[in-house]
Structure 1
């Protein structure tokens, strides 16, 4: 069977023959973490008033990938987020980040905005502070620097050049406070920018509605 990528979809079969079956790319990655049922996916699609290509040849049109992904993310967390936790997430960013499930839901939201590097960096810094030996601290610091801080890092965070240079100068002998300034900047960015949008997002609002109904 020939497979090819068409935008946000993975398709099996010959191109543009009318017989190819196409599925959202993210679905292939996320489905194993969800209920392994095609009926579940179809039901989600019908809720949106559409059906992904490959499940039905005629009827409603192809689902917007973003809408289907949000529906799946809501389903993913619906049974795993205690009511009190979901309500607490709306109080402050601190409450959200203190909860492991809250971190994961927030990360899912940030991925939709292509800014999950902020949370991942913040969490890496929290973990870095727990290191006790110089060797562990050195290894962790270099990993954080390469992944998040250096120019053109794969998950480069948005910090000012002075802070970035300060970390670069100290990375050879990192201390426990090596990333404190950068972490505060990223926390402020999340608190003032990402977090308010998260509270208004469909992901959180759907979980909040479900929590209030329990």
Structure 2
């Protein structure tokens, strides 16, 4: 146990109480897993809320999904925008195309809100403070003036910021913003993507 702590404690962001508990347990020589439970819970939450979502966006995972994606699934995207967005491989290639036309921020915001909704649906009321922080991060990155700013009507931005300022963070916080973004993507970029080499080359290399 002492070896594990010495090797990994500096690499894992544990809270002071959890770290103190496992250090005390290790030094005593009488390992009680109850002492380790808080640290294990914190590591699990870190994996679930940070590293697992990052893995799902990784090149390794997306390459694997692409290898097993049937061509007919990709061909359906040509007539179904929602299924394109619902598919990780589809979103990846759509994002690459959007990057080439400098419109990637729209899909990045869409992804961020999807993750926000998933986390909101699984959080307890006692954990809503962390969701408030996440909502503020999304606003700071995508709704404020800067390189990543996504165009939204002022009324939508103002409503989101007012709700956050009043502590009214809920799963539907960004719903109007997402509807606006989906419509904007559907109107022009989606059509152009279907005509692009990015999409055609993907379909060509997939097996039936």
TM-score if structure 2 supplies the norm length? Answer: 0.60
Relative contact order, CA 8 A, sep 6+: which one is greater? 2
Contact 1:125 1:179 survives alignment (8 Å) = yes
User: Which of 139, 151, 154 lines up with 2:147 in the alignment?
Assistant: 154
Pairwise CA RMSD of aligned residues?
A: 2.4
Report how far residue 134 of structure 1 moved.
1.0
How many positions carry a matched residue from both structures?
A: 140
Say which structure is richer in strand: 1
Match of 1:171 in 2: 164
Deviations 1:37-92 (A, max 9, x none): xxxxxxxxxxxxxxxxxxxxxxxxxxxxxxxxxxxxxx9x9756431322122121
Contact 1:146 1:153 survives alignment (8 Å) = no
Deviations 1:105-137 (A, max 9, x none): 111111101111111111111111122231232
User: Which of 105, 110, 131 lines up with 1:117 in the alignment?
Assistant: 105
Say which structure is richer in helix: 2
Match of 2:5 in 1: none
Q: How is 1:139-150 mapped onto 2 (pairs within 5 angstroms)?
A: 139-150=133-144
Contact 2:98 2:104 survives alignment (8 Å) = yes
Gaps of 5+ in 1: 1-32, 35-74
Which 4+ stretches in 1 moved above 4 angstroms?
A: 77-81
Gaps of 5+ in 2: 1-58
TM-score if structure 1 supplies the norm length? Answer: 0.59
